[in-house]
Amino acid sequence: MKDMMPDDISGEYQEHMFSYHDGTHRKVLFTNIETQLPEGSLIVSRADLRGIITDVNQSFIEMSAYHKDELIGQPHCILRHPDMPAAAFGDLWKMVQQRNKWHGYVKNLRKDGGFYWVYATVIANIRNGDITGFTSVRRRTSRTKINEAETHYQTL
Ligand SMILES: Cc1cc2nc3c(=O)[nH]c(=O)nc-3n(C[C@H](O)[C@H](O)[C@H](O)COP(=O)(O)O)c2cc1C
C-alpha cells in the first residue's frame, strides 16, 4: 500500500506510521473530520482468505473516498484508523476463522484523512464445507455506542 499523500487530505492532519500484521508499513495522515454514514445505508465488501478486498458496493466507495480500482486487490487494513487497537481485529480474525459471526464498532480512515464509525458484521463464506472468503456488512451506529467504543478502545 502506498503512503497517504498530503495532496489528498482535507484539513489539518497528524501523521502515523503503521506496521501491519503482514509486516508491511504505511504512513497514514488523519484529521478529526467525521463523515456520517446515512441511516439505512449499508457498506458491503468481500475479501479473500487473507483479507484482500475482492468486491465493494457503492456505499463503501463513497464512504472511503477511494476509487473502486484503488480498493480492489488491496488489504482491508487500507481503512485502518490509528485509533483502532490491534486487539479488536485479532478478535475478528479469530472469530471468523472459527466460522463464527463477528460484530464490532469500527472507526475507519478515509482517503481524505477523515473518519467514519460503523457497526460491522463479518462472516465467513463457506462453500462445500470450506471457507472461501469473508463478507462484511456495516451500518450506521449511535453516538452513545461510538462513545462507549472509544472509551473501551483506549483501554486496549
Ligand atoms: C471482510 C473483512 C472486512 C474488514 N473490514 C475492515 C474495516 O472496515 N476496517 C478495518 O480497519 N479493518 C477491517 N478488516 C480487518 C483487516 O483485515 C485488518 O485485520 C485490520 O485492518 C488490522 O490490520 P493489520 O492486522 O494488518 O494490522 C476486515 C477484515 C475482513 C475479513
pLDDT of residue 21: 84
Cα–Cα dist 84/106, whole Å: 7
pLDDT of residue 84: 96
Cα–Cα dist 89/11, whole Å: 28
Decide whether any atom of ligand 1 lies within 6 Å of the 108 Cβ: yes
Q: Which three cell numbers stand for residue 43?
A: 457498506
**Probe target for ligand 1 pocket from 21, 57, 80, 99, with the most ligand atoms within 8 Å of CB:** 80
- Burial degree of 84 (CB within 10 A; 0-12, 13-18, 19+): buried
pLDDT of residue 66: 97
Terminus-to-terminus CA distance in the chain, angstroms? 26
Distance between Cα 138 and ligand 1 center (Å): 12
**pLDDT, tens digit only, all 156 positions of the chain:** 999 999 999 999 999 999 998 889 999 999 999 999 999 999 999 999 999 999 999 999 999 999 999 999 999 999 999 999 999 999 999 999 999 999 999 999 999 999 999 999 999 999 999 999 999 999 999 999 999 999 999 998
CB 102 within 8 A of CB 122: yes
Q: Could you please state the CATH topology (level 3) that the domain comprising 33-155 is classified under.
A: Beta-Lactamase (3.30.450)
pLDDT of residue 156: 85
CB 47 within 8 A of CB 137: no
Decide whether any atom of ligand 1 lies within 6 Å of the 111 Cβ: no
pLDDT of residue 71: 98
Atom of ligand 1 nearest to the CA of 106: 9
The three-class DSSP label of residue 125 is strand
